[in-house]
Amino acid sequence: MDDEIFSKYLKTESVFKDQQSLNQAWVPTSKQKIICRQNELKKLLLIHRPIIQTQGEFSTNTLVLGKGGIGKTVTIRYFGKRFREAVLKEDIKLTIEYYDCLQHRTKSSILRNISERLHYSAGHGYSDNEIMEQILKELIKRKESLLIILDEVHKLPPDDILSLLNASIGFGEQNTRFCIICISRESDWFKVDNEKISSRIQEVIKMQPYNKEESFEILQYRRNLAFRDGVLEDDVLELIADIVYEQKNMRTGIDIMRSCGLHADEQMTSTITPEMVLQSRESVSPSFRADILDNLSLHEHLTLWAIAAALKHTGNPFTKVDESFEFYKMKCEELGYKPHVQMSFRKYIRNLSSVKAIYKEYLNPTSEKKGRQIQIKLTDITPEKLCDYFEKRIPPKA
């Protein structure tokens, strides 16, 4: 049976031409391009052009802000790749390192990795400040520039961010040859930003979500890279573009395309249908939701979890305030939190509705129910996925 499965699927032609181009870590090659981010690329180039003009004796700190899923990371990584190619043609030494601060959560981790990347061992027993000093001295000695990209920079402690930004501005009387590009959602950056940190940022680039036409243009380009001709027609691609524009999240659209392609391969069909798009939309969890969830209070989290739990329990597409309030009290009791009164619970529902974490609609009074009833639905994520999300992130009260 296993041999039949391997033989069947390995010998069948895939709908994909280059599946890797739909991966989250994808960065365009020199022969490929970034769509609809030319203005941001131009700004980045103008900011860092002095590295070429001064033969590397230049330092600056840049902050790139924007919602999740709008191309911040891929744009910055593509810029770094192309800029390094241009700088090397001028016989200037430039090293560019990318750090995801979800993986490197401290200044110490980043500094020690930089030492290794520069093939320069700081040795054991050195403090972070001593390692930083050695790195900067080594850059000056080699006449080499270093540009580091700190993605999800808000995951670093504020003091660590400040220390890194300070180092790139100056060290002693010499230029450090050390530049930083920080990437963050705007809502996350506000959590770590302070007057000292802001004063160390020389340039801020705010990236906006794509409009409807840009969404389609980008998806069309990525479609042409990823799929064979005729697999994903424009009319079906329009459905995905509508979802991207509605959610202001390109990552969701790319994930839907990849999911649809895998689904088509599984069914051994050569085309992606509208039904596949709708089905994939249900399975793709949009990353932009972090923008919403990160700004909610504990009891707003518990309220949203209770709504998802009620929907999951009943299997209905909607729930009502009284029903979800019972699940809210159960969740609070289960986790050891004191539940708030129903009036507060209704306020949390209003707040969740205002940030579009839920939909609520009013039903007309009936002979059985005199007052207006509120019907509550989730927006674009399944109850199961939302329950899984909260189970991993809200611990019992200590």
Q: What is the DSSP string of 41-87?
A: HHHHHHHHTHHHHTTT----EEEEE--TTSSHHHHHHHHHHHHHHHH
Domain 211-286, CATH: 1.10.8.60
CA distances from 2 to 12, 13, 263, 267, 301 (A): 16, 19, 20, 17, 44
DSSP state of 203: E
Mean pLDDT by 10 residues, the chain (398 residues): 70 92 93 96 97 86 94 98 95 95 92 87 78 89 94 94 86 71 91 92 97 97 98 96 90 95 95 91 62 80 95 90 96 94 95 86 63 79 84 80
Closest alpha carbon to 379 in 354, 357, 348, 361: 357
Strands (E), 116-184: 144-151, 178-184
Where do you find CATH 1.10.8.60 in the chain? 211-286
pLDDT score, position 121? 66
Q: Are 67 and 185 spatial neighbours (Cβ–Cβ below 8 Å)?
A: yes
Closest alpha carbon to 41 in 77, 88, 68, 95: 77
| Fold of the 296-393 domain | Arc Repressor Mutant, subunit A (1.10.10)
CA distances from 354 to 128, 378, 380 (A): 44, 13, 15
Q: Are 346 and 321 spatial neighbours (Cβ–Cβ below 8 Å)?
A: yes
pLDDT score, position 204? 98
Calculated CA dihedral for residues 150, 153, 158, 162, nearest 10 degrees: 30
Rg, the chain, Cα only: 25
Report the CATH superfamily, name and number, of domain 37-206.
Answer: P-loop containing nucleotide triphosphate hydrolases (3.40.50.300)
Two structure tokens written together for 108: 């110490």
Where do you find CATH 3.40.50.300 in the chain? 37-206
pLDDT score, position 287? 47
Where do you find CATH 1.10.10.10 in the chain? 296-393
